[in-house]
Amino acid sequence: MTQAPPPDDQQWMRHALALAAQGKGRVEPNPMVGCVIVRDHVALAEGFHQKFGGPHAEREALSALPAGCDPAGATWYVTLEPCCHTGKTPPCSDAVIAARPRRVVVAAVDPFPEVAGRGIAQIRAAGIEVEVGVCEAEANRLNAPFIKRIRQRQPWVIAKWAMTLDGKIATHCGNSQWISGEASRRRVHQVRGQVDAIVTGIGSVLADDPTLTARPPGPRTAARIVMDDRAQVPLDSTLIKTQSLAGLHVMVGAAAPQDRIDALRNTGCGVIVNASGTRTGGVEQLMAWCHDQGMTNILLEAGAGVLASFFEVDAIDEYQIFIAPKLVGGSTAPGPLGGVGLSQIAQSPSLEPLQVETIEGDLLVTTRRVR
């Protein structure tokens, strides 16, 4: 039977995880990492990876040590295996070893191929005790988008929608503004400011003329991506007019009129041609394109058709669903997932237990796909 870690280990590691989470939206495509240096049950220093290209958590913690404080003999709590290669920063494993800790506690192994256990092995080879796996599930959950990007070469996909209590995302006339309240919409803007891209469909563009930017701006500026088979994005749309604020890309079908494609490109808009000829094939191509652009997280803010395309290829990792205390009815009023749908309830993807939060009268229900 595996022995549970001492309560102190879990306490300090959870504190390190809370520190790591402060890097969300700032460190990607790197992982979020936190570090706490502890001796005699007292934290000597702590730090977290604050921005991409900046010092990693271990070096941030070292730089936070009080003047004259020698960390020798301390226990280090690190949420992800210290790196052992030179990238934008030097190896953290060297810095840890040089600090002469008595013990290093690591939550999770880094899946990045140039690390993947080598950092742990290097520290152990220096005669330092290393324990791995304290709060491992929590650490891997925090960095699930990073892990997916490394292992599957795809970004993490968050599907967001607002719906009425009877499950409608718009009326039968297409009206959808506004289903959720102002507080819920502020939460969506926070998420927009933490992702690399926001994906929508041409139906939403024609109906709502959205901007799809974070207001106020967040740590990241998301590219806007429109799935638009016939290259119908209006040249006078807000998306076209605001390209100085955020990049715009349109995924068009191979049969889209060339004059429309040329007109979009002439505005400075990027055009991605869906070579597959199918909506689901376009999703797979777009996922690969987003990875190649260095993207870690993408947000779907789209209608039932685009959401269904991602759902049908099992590309959605996380759901953020805002449920408002409103009713609209109507057999033709759309629900969030269009398409043909599943034929059997048993075919439904496995989802984690729901997390429910009240936001000024609305409910925010979040869950993740169980892989």
71-89 tens-digit pLDDT: 999 999 999 999 887 777 7
The neighbour count for residue 286, using CB atoms within 10 Å, is 23
Of the candidates 142, 59, 73, which has an alpha carbon nearest to the alpha carbon of residue 108?
A: 142
Q: What are phi and psi of 136, to 5 degrees?
A: -60, -45
The pLDDT of residue 7 is: 67
Q: Kindly list the domain boundaries of the chain, sorted by start residue.
A: 7-147, 155-368
The pLDDT of residue 1 is: 47
CATH superfamily entry for domain 7-147:
Cytidine Deaminase, domain 2 (3.40.140.10)
Give mean pLDDT, residues 285-297.
97
The pLDDT of residue 5 is: 65
Separation between Cα atoms, residue 210 and residue 222, nearest integer Å: 14
Cβ-count burial 148-184 (b if 16+ within 10 Å, e if not): bbbeeebbbbbbbbbbbeeebbbbeeeebeebbbeeb
Q: Does residue 19 contact residue 57 with C-beta atoms inside 8 Å?
A: yes
Give one DSSP letter per residue of 309-364, joined into a string.
Answer: HHHHTT---EEEEEEES-----TTS--S--SS--S-GGGSPPBPPPEEEEETTEEE
Q: Is 46 a catalytic residue?
A: no
Asked whether the predicted pLDDT for residue 103 surpasses 70, the reply is yes
Annotated binding site for substrate: 176, 192, 212, 215, 301
The yes-or-no answer to whether 7-147 and 155-368 have a common fold is no
Q: Which residues contact 207 (CB under 8 A, 6 or more apart)?
A: 174, 176, 303
Annotated binding site: 56, 83, 92, 162, 176, 178, 192, 208, 212, 215, 301, 303-309
Annotated binding site for Zn(2+): 56, 83, 92
**What is the pLDDT confidence band of residue 209, given thresholds at 50, 70 and 90?**
very high
Considering the candidates 28, 58, 312, 318, report the single residue annotated as catalytic: 58
Separation between Cα atoms, residue 270 and residue 157, nearest integer Å: 21
Give mean pLDDT, residues 106-134.
93
Of the candidates 272, 219, 216, 279, which has an alpha carbon nearest to the alpha carbon of residue 248?
A: 272
Give mean pLDDT, residues 140-144.
97
310-351 tens-digit pLDDT: 999 999 999 999 999 999 999 999 999 999 999 999 999 999
CATH class of 155-368: alpha beta
Q: What are phi and psi of 248, to 5 degrees?
A: -130, 130
Q: Is the pTM of this model over 0.85?
A: yes
The pLDDT of residue 322 is: 98
Helices 279-292 and 304-312, packing angle to 10 deg: 80
